[in-house]
Structure 1
């Protein structure tokens, strides 16, 4: 893989993080640097570590991971999205989906990085045979996810303030749509 292909791959992997970050920014409606940094850090970290794990385990577990990765990502995103929709439709003013909670951020980081695990498996099959050969791609993937997550949060805050959106409802629909997109890509386009 050349450098351009790696950057394009990194951007495509980071699009789920970007979308989820926009949703989180819409929910928060205010700039919270610490929360944005924590979310972007974990999104970038998981997006970088998952390909490394996939690459490392490719020879032993690729047939197991490849068949179910899309279902795991869909399940996590559908669960979170369903909870958000339920909260958005309830008349209760209390919001249980809180993107500032570490547990929520970690769940989202895992859900959005399942595809990166599969990419790591493919790295092993395209000739990346040493740790040094995979170091640059995983650094680019992590960095890109971090930057796009920060940008997504800021865009979400702007949209949340500008347009009076029912944030939990729309956020839940977006998370479920991402999960469906992952399923369609893996079931019908691969």
Structure 2
């Protein structure tokens, strides 16, 4: 795979994480650039590791990965999104009640949910003459960049939409999960 194709693949793989990051940034109380970078690094590392895992699994049995990856991604994103939607209707109204940062585990789970497709891509790349390590690194770096920008963009969007930011973020996660499922079930 040439460098241009790798670059396009890397940014294509980071789009789900970017959308989720906007939702995450919108639910935070004025996220600082350090929190945006922290979130970007967590997502980026996970997004870089999953194609490697997929590649190794793909060497053994690619058809098994593609049979269930979309269901896992859909379930995780739907549950996380539903939790955000539910929380958006809770009693807390003030901007000051928003957290300054998300927990590592919540970010890791969201990062994993948005990177399941990267595992399937890694499995597919097992059958192509590609340097999986440089490809995975490119995917991780692109995701780090896009998620960091997404959290900061979510800060602006969160300020504009106010208390409905968490609702919007949850709907985005559910939408991403549904889109992944629909794409794999070939509904579009």
Offset at residue 167 of structure 1 (A): 1.5
Q: Distance in 2 between matches of 1:96 and 1:161?
A: 12
Alignment of 1:1-190 (within 5 A): 1-93=1-93, 100-128=102-130, 133-188=131-186
TM-aligned CA deviation for residue 134 of structure 1: 1.7
Q: Which runs of 5+ in 2 are unaligned?
A: none
How many angstroms apart in 2 are the aligned matches of 1:186 and 1:3?
A: 27
Q: Shift in Å at residue 93 of structure 1?
A: 4.7
Are the aligned partners of 2:88 and 2:163 in contact in 1 as well (CA < 8 Å)? no
| Equivalent-residue separation in structure 1 for 2:66 and 2:99 (angstroms) | 30
Given the superposition, is the C-alpha separation of residues 19 and 99 from structure 1 closer, same or farther in structure 2, using an over 3 Å criterion?
farther
Contact in 2 for aligned 1:24/1:99 (Cα 8 Å): no
Q: Normalising by the residue count of structure 1, what TM-score does the alignment of the two structures yield?
A: 0.89
**SS, match of residue 125 in structure 1:** coil
**Count of residues in correspondence between the two structures:** 186
Contact 2:11/2:142 (8 A) holds in 1:
yes
- Structure 1 residue 29: deviation in Å? 3.8
> Using a 3 Å threshold, how does the CA distance of structure 1 residues 25 and 2 change in structure 2: closer, same or farther?
same
CA distance in 1, matches of 2:182, 2:81: 17
- Aligned partner of residue 14 in structure 2, secondary structure: helix
The Cα of 1:99 is off from its aligned counterpart by 5.5
Residues 58 and 188 of structure 1: is their aligned pair in 2 closer, same or farther, counting only changes over 3 Å?
same
73-82 vs 21-30, which deviates more? 21-30
* Alignment CA distance shift 1:142-1:13 (3 Å): same
| Alpha-carbon displacement from aligned partner over 1:134-178 (angstroms, at most 9, x marks no partner) | 222111111100000110011111111233350221111110000
